Amino acid sequence: MTAVLAAAMLVGFAPLSAAQDQPANNMESVHAKLKTDKQWIVTQYMHLTPAEAKKFWPVYEAYQQDLAKIDQRLRQLLQSYAADYRTQSLSDDKAQQLLDAWIAIENDDATRRASYVPKVLQALPPKKAARYLQIENEYRILLKYDLAALVPLVP
């Protein structure tokens, strides 16, 4: 359920056929709840000592801010696709632009994830670092899975 809400928040709209006029404060509420839920999940599964927590949480927050930048780019890409999908005006050129943008986002996301491994390893012992990165990866996979279910195939 949380992942579905996260996917809806990520793209800024429910399924493409639904109305997009959700109040901004509602989306902000959903975003705040998801952020709290994710942090709670990480807290529950990490079992950090106070010393580890002091080093880890600033890295976690920086990583979440960087992920939000990737999510914003993806939201813009999907909103562009949604506009063309609704009006049935997706051209081959626009489809190519969307593909290029999507691959760039995926590549940037992978690069960003890799750049945080050493930062997490500086904050945590290797097994706990691996656990956190595994949790983060599973969360992102769930988001992408739910997002794939929401976005219709190109006609």
Express each pLDDT in 98-152 by its tens digit: 999 999 999 999 999 999 999 999 999 999 999 999 999 998 898 888 888 888 8
* Residue 17, φ and ψ in degrees, nearest 5: -80, -10
Q: pLDDT band at 88, cuts 50/70/90?
A: very high
Q: Is residue 139 part of a domain?
A: yes
Domain count, the chain: 1
Specify whether the CB–CB gap between 5 and 150 falls below 8 A: no
Residue 13 is classified by DSSP as: S
Q: Is residue 31 part of a domain?
A: yes
Q: Is residue 155 part of a domain?
A: no
Q: Is residue 19 part of a domain?
A: yes
Cα separation, 34 vs 36, in Å, equals 5
Alpha helices of 47-152 — where are they, by DSSP H? 50-87, 92-123, 126-150
pTM of the model: 0.75
Domain that includes residue 117, residue range: 2-150
Q: Is residue 121 part of a domain?
A: yes
Cα separation, 72 vs 68, in Å, equals 6
Q: Is residue 97 part of a domain?
A: yes
**Hey, what amino acid is at 128?**
K
